[in-house]
Amino acid sequence: MALSAAPGIKAAIPKMAKERLRIAIQKSGRLTDKSLDLLSRCGLDFARSKDALFCFGRNMPVDLLLVRDDDIPGFLAEGICDVGLVGDNVAAEKACASFFSGKPSQAKTVQRVRGLGYGACRLSIALPQEYAYHHLGDLQGMTLATSYPALLQKFLDEQKIEARVIYLSGSVEIAPRLGTADGICDLVSSGATLAANRLQEVHTLLESEAALYQRDLSAETKKQNILNVLLQRLNSVLQVSASKYVMLHAPASQVAAITQILPAAESPTVLPLEGTTQRVAVHTLCRENVLWEHLEQLKAIGASAILVLPVEKMLA
């Protein structure tokens, strides 16, 4: 499998400018809106026409390339873009495929910088529900359909399992019903697609999320500096989206227990409540998401009027 992207697309892309950072994102798919939203929350503004492949950054020296997600690792390796927002699953498959094809150096030039907190899924092997699965050895001799042949083959080799891998570019989940495969290796998020196709998930090969990947910019200081500014903004934006401001009333004796329950809570503000010395108001910033389980635990130790508010901007 080639790491290179389709030549027709490459011809349509403007030549890379030395002093502008170029970010590739998925043109149309599950990651598109979240990637655009994240970049916009980092303050980037693009002149974007609907079908454009290339968008010029209006307020920072950062341009956007909108392409198929599968092309992003290849574009990074070939220096057609500097940064890519892509699923770990795609990056790992391309790195693995380039290793198999004897070009490991290409994959090495592409580095994962950080996860972005969306596009979570896992690459798993699934078999028909009626199959009585016991262990990985059951896969011996099976035919498995997948869009991730390199990752699956690597996994089978490591486990010393001899199975036939067949490549399908889409609708992998229907292969067992069509009789073209015994099982599949595909992306799973909620598991609803597997259930709808009467498949059971038997083994996870890889946990994935959308992540920021970059090519080696050590010889291009200007671009790396632009990327550093963007990474700082990304850190703030991602921290803010996880952070919550919590306000509640509680017995004065339970303030310490409350900060223990709340995830990554800062030192709280404790305020008196009119007409009582037994209960106080507690306000605190939590640096991680506050879940229903946390609220239930707070209620169990006597908290009431619990409010969880989103944080819009934060300068630490």
DSSP track, 137-199: GGGTT-EEEES-HHHHHHHHHHTT---EEEE-SS-GGGHHHHTS-SEEEEEESSSHHHHHTTE
| The entry of ligand ATP, Zn ion, none that residue 30 binds, CB within 5 to 8 Å by partner kind | ligand ATP
Q: 222 with 286: CB under 8 angstroms?
A: no
* Residue 208, contacted partner among ligand ATP, Zn ion, none, CB below 5-8 A by kind: ligand ATP
In the bound state with Zn ion, the residue whose beta carbon lies nearer, of 69 and 82, is 69
Q: Nearest distance from residue 44's CB to ligand ATP, in Å?
A: 21
> Which of 14, 29, 79, 272 forms a contact with ligand ATP (CB under 6 A)?
29
Residue whose C-beta lies closest to ligand ATP:
87
Q: Which of 4, 10, 13, 30 binds ligand ATP (CB under 6 A)?
A: 30
Q: Which does 183 bind (CB under 5 to 8 A by kind): ligand ATP, Zn ion, none?
A: none
Instruction: Scan for tokens 């921290």, then name that residue.
Output: 239
Query: Which residues inside 243-272 make contact with ligand ATP, applying CB under 6 A?
Result: none
Q: In angstroms, what is the minimal distance from the CB of 22 to ligand ATP?
A: 18
Tokens 């990327």 correspond to 227
Nearer of residues 36 and 286 to Zn ion, judged by Cβ: 36
Q: Examine residue 121 and tell whether it contacts ligand ATP (CB under 6 A).
A: yes
Tell me the closest approach of the beta carbon of residue 6 to ligand ATP, in angstroms.
11
**Comparison of 123 and 265: residue with beta carbon closer to ligand ATP:** 123
Q: Which helix (H) or strand (E) holds 298?
A: helix 292-300
Rounded-to-integer distance, Cα 132 and Cα 184, Å: 16
CA distances from residue 39 to 3, 119, 297 in whole angstroms, order as listed: 26, 15, 36
84 scored as a contact of ligand ATP (CB under 6 A): no
What does the block give as tokens for 51?
A: 């079908």
Per CB under 5 A, residues contacting Zn ion are 69-70
Identify the CA nearest to 266 among candidates 245, 290, 238, 289. 245
Provide the residue type at 57 as one letter.
Answer: G
Eight-state DSSP code of residue 45: -
Residues 282, 267 contacting (CB under 8 angstroms):
no
Is residue 119 part of the contact set for ligand ATP (CB under 6 A)? yes
Residue from the set 34, 70, 138, 161 that interacts with ligand ATP by CB under 6 A:
70
Q: Would you say 85 or 298 has its CB closer to ligand ATP?
A: 85
Chain residues in the site for ligand ATP (CB under 6 A): 26, 29-31, 68-70, 87, 89-90, 119, 121, 187, 189, 208
